[in-house]
């Protein structure tokens, strides 16, 4: 039995908020670990060295692309 771990994802048509870590033995999946929030990692670290205005494009990508305007509006209002 030779198990290999592979990353499968991101798995959301609009935002990619989920990936799966699969343990496979040939064609058989023997284990699976969901990794929810996969695209959110590092946003805070990116924002540390940027100004409020420079962070706007990053804030647009935090939430689902379907509601980027709602996320940015909240951010910009908080900054003002």
pLDDT, position 43: 77
Regarding predicted confidence, which is higher, 39 or 50? 50
* pLDDT exceeds 90 at position 46: no
pLDDT, position 13: 56
User: Does the bond joining 15 to the residue before it have cis omega, within 30 degrees of 0?
Assistant: no
| H helix runs in the chain, sequence order | 43-47, 56-62, 68-79
pLDDT, position 50: 93
Distances from the Cα of 37 to the Cαs of 2, 7, 15, 17, 34, in angstroms? 29, 14, 10, 5, 10
């Amino acid at each position: 039995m030779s198990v290999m771990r592979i990353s499968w994802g991101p798995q959301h048509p609009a935002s990619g908020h989920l990936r799966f870590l699969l343990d496979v033995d040939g064609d058989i999946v023997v284990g699976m670990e969901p990794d929810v929030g996969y695209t959110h990692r590092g946003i805070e670290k990116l924002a540390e060295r940027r100004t409020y205005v420079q962070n706007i494009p990053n804030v647009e990508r935090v939430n689902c692309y379907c509601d980027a305007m709602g996320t940015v509006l909240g951010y910009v209002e908080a900054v003002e």
